[in-house]
C-alpha cells in the first residue's frame, strides 16, 4: 500500500439517522413533497424497468383532495365495487377495534391492528383470483376480512379456543387458509417474501396460471430474505407481486434505519431490472389500479413487480407496544396522505352514491356482525379460561406420521 497524495486524514464519525420528530415535537410534513393526484403516467405492462425509473421515486395517486379520481390510473372500479371496498375497510377497522378490546379484557395474549393502512390489503385482495396465493405478514388481515373468511374463525384463533382452526398452536392473528389464498403467517420477518416467489416459480414450472403475492414491511426490507426474493424473482421472472408496505415505522424504528438517503423502497427493484411502482397506500383506488397492473403483468408472463405502498401505522405496533415513547402522538393527524377510510368515503359522497348517514349505518351493521361473531367465538372459549383443543393435539402434525420418540413423549405426558 502506498501513500496517496490525498488530503490529510481527519476523524470520521458514525452517522445514525434520526426521525424528524420525537415525542414532544410538533410533527410537520409540509416539506415532504406529495405529487399531485393523476400526475403519474401509466406505462404498458410490458415496459422495461429502466424506462420507468421515475415511477419508483414518485407517489402514484388517483384521488385528489376534493375526492375526485383523476389521471391515467383512475377508472378501474365501478361504484358498487368501491362501496364494497369501503365496507371492507370499515370491517377491518371495526374488527381490529373489537379484538384490541378483547386482548385488553384478557381473552388473548396479543393483537396487532392495521389501523390507517386498511386500503392496501382490502384493495389488493380484489385483484387476485381463486387459486392465487398471498404470503402475508401479520398486518394483512384485510385480505381475509375482504374475502369470505369467517370472522368467527379468526376470533376462534385469536382466542386459541377449542374451535381454533390451528388448534391453539399458533399465536393469535397468525392465520392460515389455503382455501382463501392466505399462506400460514410466520412470526419470523421476511421469510415469506422468498417463499412467495418460490410458489410463483412453482406455478410457472407447472404451466399453471396462478400468481403469488409476497408481503413485507418497510423495516423488514432490511432482512436478507428480501434480497433472496428479489434475486430469485428477477432471475426466473416469477409471476409474483412483491408488496412493500411502508408504514413509516418498524416498532420504534423509523424507516430511515432501513433505507438510505433519498432512495425509496421501490427503487430497490431497479437494481434487479424489476419494474417498481410507488403508490399512495391510503388511496384505495390507486392501490387497486397499481396492484391490477402488476397482476396483469404477472399473468401475462412478464414477471415480477415491486410495489411500495406509502402509508402510516396509525396504531401501536402491537398490544405490547406504546408508541408515545418514541413518536409524537399527533403524527398520524399530521400525516399528509390522510386516512384511507375518510378519503374513500369522501370520494363516494362526491360521486353521490354515499352519505354520512349511510356511513354511520354501515358501521353499525358491521359492528353488530362483529359483536355477533364474537359472542359465537367466546362460546368456544378464550385463551386463559379455555377450553382449548385437547393437549394431545400438541404432539400431532410435527410430522405426517408421529415418530417413536414423540409417541413416547406423548405417553410420558399421559395425554
Partner 1 sequence: MSRMTMIQSIRSAMDTSMARDESVVVFGEDVGYFGGVFRCTEGLQKKYGSHRCFDSPINESGIIGSAIGMAAYGLRPCVEIQFADYVFPGFDQLSQEASRIRYRSNNDFTAPMVVRMPTGGGIFGGQTHSQSPEAIFAHVSGLKTVIPSNPYDAKGLLAASIEDNDPVMFLEPKRLYNGPFDGHHDRPITPWSKHELGEVPDEYYTVPLGKAATRREGEAVTVLAYGTMVYVAEAAVEETGIDAEIIDLRTILPLDIEAIEASVKKTGRCVIVHEATKTCGFGAELMALVMEGCFYHLEAPVIRVTGYDMPYPHAHEWEYFPGPKRVGAALKKVMEA
Ligand X SMILES: Cc1ncc(C[n+]2csc(CCOP(=O)(O)OP(=O)(O)O)c2C)c(N)n1
User: Which of 83, 210, 268, 317 touches ligand X by CB under 6 A?
Assistant: 317
User: Which of 111, 193, 199, 249 touches ligand X by CB under 6 A?
Assistant: 249
The number of residues that bind Mg ion (CB under 5 A) is 5
Q: What's the chain's Rg over C-alpha atoms?
A: 23
CA dihedral (329, 330, 331, 335) positive or negative = positive
305 in contact with a second copy (CB under 8 A): no
User: Which of 132, 153, 218, 223 touches Mg ion by CB under 5 A?
Assistant: 218
265 in contact with partner 1 (CB under 8 A): no
Please compute, for residue 135, the number of CA atoms within 13 A of its CA located in the half-sphere on the CB side: 28
- In the chain the first and final C-alpha atoms are separated, in Å, by 70
Match 401475462 to its residue by C-alpha cell.
300
247 in contact with Mg ion (CB under 5 A): yes
99 in contact with partner 1 (CB under 8 A): no
Strands 249-250 and 253-254: antiparallel
Cβ 19 to partner 1, closest distance in Å? 9
Pairwise CA distance, residues 59 & 68, whole Å: 17
**Interface residues for a second copy in 274-293 (CB under 8 A)?**
274, 292
User: Which of 188, 330, 393, 409 touches ligand X by CB under 6 A?
Assistant: 188
Residues in contact with 188: Cβ distance below 8 Å, sequence separation at least 6, in sequence order: none
Contact range with a second copy by CB under 8 A, out of 112-120, 298-306, 344-352, 391-399: 298-306
DSSP 278: E
Pairwise CA distance, residues 303 & 9, whole Å: 48
User: Which of 63, 94, 147, 250 touches Mg ion by CB under 5 A?
Assistant: 250
Distance (Å) of CA 88 to CA 70, 93, 299: 23, 9, 25
Helices (H) and strands (E) in the chain, counts: 11, 7
Cβ 38 to partner 1, closest distance in Å? 35
Residue 139's binding partner out of ligand X, Mg ion, partner 1, none, with CB under 5 to 8 Å set by partner kind: ligand X
300 in contact with a second copy (CB under 8 A): yes
Residue 68's binding partner out of a second copy, partner 1, Mg ion, none, with CB under 5 to 8 Å set by partner kind: none
172 in contact with partner 1 (CB under 8 A): yes
**Phi then psi dihedrals of residue 284, to 5 deg:** -50, -40
**Interface residues for a second copy in 202-221 (CB under 8 A)?**
203-205, 207-209
- Counting every residue, how long is the chain? 415
50 in contact with a second copy (CB under 8 A): yes
Contact range with partner 1 by CB under 8 A, out of 112-120, 162-170, 289-297, 334-342: 162-170
SS3 for 156-193 is: HHHCCCCCCCCCCCCCCCCCCEHHHCECCCCCCCCHHH
Query: CB atoms < 10 A from the CB of 373, how many?
Result: 19
Is the CB of 200 or the CB of 377 nearer to a second copy? 200
- CA angle, 271 as apex, 228 and 275 as ends, to 5°? 90
User: Which of 47, 257, 334, 349 touches partner 1 by CB under 8 A?
Assistant: 257
118 in contact with a second copy (CB under 8 A): no
CA dihedral (69, 70, 75, 76) positive or negative = negative
User: Which of 156, 247, 311, 374 touches ligand X by CB under 6 A?
Assistant: 247
**Interface residues for ligand X in 103-142 (CB under 6 A)?**
139
Query: CB atoms < 10 A from the CB of 320, how many?
Result: 12
**Interface residues for ligand X in 190-219 (CB under 6 A)?**
217-219
Cβ 159 to a second copy, closest distance in Å? 26
Nearest one of 98, 94, 99 to 110, comparing CA atoms: 99
215 in contact with partner 1 (CB under 8 A): no
- CA angle, 63 as apex, 59 and 65 as ends, to 5°? 100
**Interface residues for partner 1 in 329-348 (CB under 8 A)?**
none
The number of residues that bind a second copy (CB under 8 A) is 76
16 in contact with partner 1 (CB under 8 A): yes
Query: CB atoms < 10 A from the CB of 207, how many?
Result: 6
User: Which of 220, 243, 305, 380 touches ligand X by CB under 6 A?
Assistant: 220
Query: What residues line the site for Mg ion (CB under 5 A)?
Result: 217-219, 247, 250
Query: What residues line the site for ligand X (CB under 6 A)?
Result: 139, 187-189, 217-220, 247, 249-251, 313, 317
Amino acid at each position: 500500500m502506498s501513500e496517496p497524495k490525498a488530503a490529510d486524514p481527519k476523524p470520521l464519525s458514525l452517522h445514525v439517522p434520526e426521525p424528524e420528530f420525537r415525542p414532544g415535537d410538533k410533527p410537520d410534513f409540509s416539506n415532504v413533497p406529495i405529487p399531485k393526484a393523476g400526475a403519474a403516467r401509466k406505462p404498458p405492462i410490458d415496459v422495461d424497468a429502466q424506462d420507468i425509473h421515475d415511477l419508483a421515486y414518485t407517489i402514484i395517486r388517483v384521488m385528489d383532495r376534493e375526492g375526485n379520481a383523476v389521471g391515467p390510473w383512475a377508472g378501474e372500479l365501478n361504484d358498487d365495487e368501491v362501496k364494497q371496498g369501503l365496507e371492507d375497510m370499515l370491517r377491518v377497522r371495526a374488527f381490529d377495534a373489537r379484538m384490541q378490546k378483547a386482548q385488553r379484557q384478557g381473552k388473548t395474549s396479543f393483537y396487532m391492528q392495521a389501523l390507517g393502512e386498511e386500503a392496501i390489503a382490502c384493495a389488493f385482495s380484489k385483484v387476485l383470483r381463486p387459486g392465487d396465493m398471498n404470503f402475508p405478514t401479520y398486518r394483512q388481515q384485510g385480505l381475509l376480512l375482504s374475502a369470505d373468511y369467517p370472522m368467527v374463525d379468526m376470533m376462534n384463533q385469536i382466542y386459541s379456543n377449542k374451535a381454533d382452526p390451528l388448534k391453539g398452536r399458533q399465536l393469535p392473528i397468525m392465520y392460515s387458509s389455503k382455501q382463501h389464498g392466505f399462506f400460514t403467517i410466520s412470526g419470523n420477518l421476511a421469510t415469506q417474501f422468498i417463499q412467495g416467489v418460490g410458489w410463483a416459480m412453482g406455478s410457472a414450472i407447472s404451466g399453471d396460471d396462478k400468481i403469488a403475492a409476497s408481503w413485507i414491511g418497510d423495516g423488514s426490507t432490511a432482512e436478507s430474505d428480501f434480497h433472496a426474493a428479489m434475486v430469485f424473482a428477477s432471475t426466473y421472472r416469477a409471476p409474483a407481486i412483491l408488496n412493500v408496505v411502508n408504514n413509516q415505522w418498524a416498532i420504534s424504528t423509523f424507516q430511515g434505519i432501513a433505507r438510505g438517503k433519498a432512495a425509496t423502497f421501490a427503487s430497490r427493484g431497479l437494481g434487479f431490472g424489476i419494474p417498481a411502482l410507488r403508490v399512495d397506500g391510503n388511496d384505495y383506488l390507486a392501490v387497486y389500479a397499481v396492484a391490477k397492473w402488476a397482476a396483469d403483468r404477472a399473468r401475462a408472463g412478464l414477471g415480477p413487480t415491486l410495489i411500495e405502498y406509502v402509508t402510516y401505522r396509525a396504531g401501536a405496533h402491537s398490544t405490547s407496544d406504546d408508541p408515545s415513547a418514541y413518536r409524537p402522538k399527533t403524527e398520524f393527524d399530521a400525516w399528509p396522505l390522510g386516512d384511507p377510510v375518510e378519503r374513500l368515503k369522501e370520494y363516494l359522497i362526491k360521486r353521490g352514491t354515499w352519505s354520512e348517514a349511510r356511513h354511520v349505518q354501515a358501521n353499525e351493521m358491521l359492528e353488530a356482525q362483529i359483536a355477533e361473531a364474537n359472542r359465537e367465538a367466546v362460546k368456544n372459549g378464550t385463551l386463559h379460561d379455555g377450553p382449548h383443543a385437547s393437549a394431545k393435539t400438541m404432539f400431532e402434525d410435527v410430522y405426517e406420521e408421529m415418530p417413536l420418540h414423540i409417541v413416547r413423549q406423548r405417553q410420558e405426558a399421559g395425554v
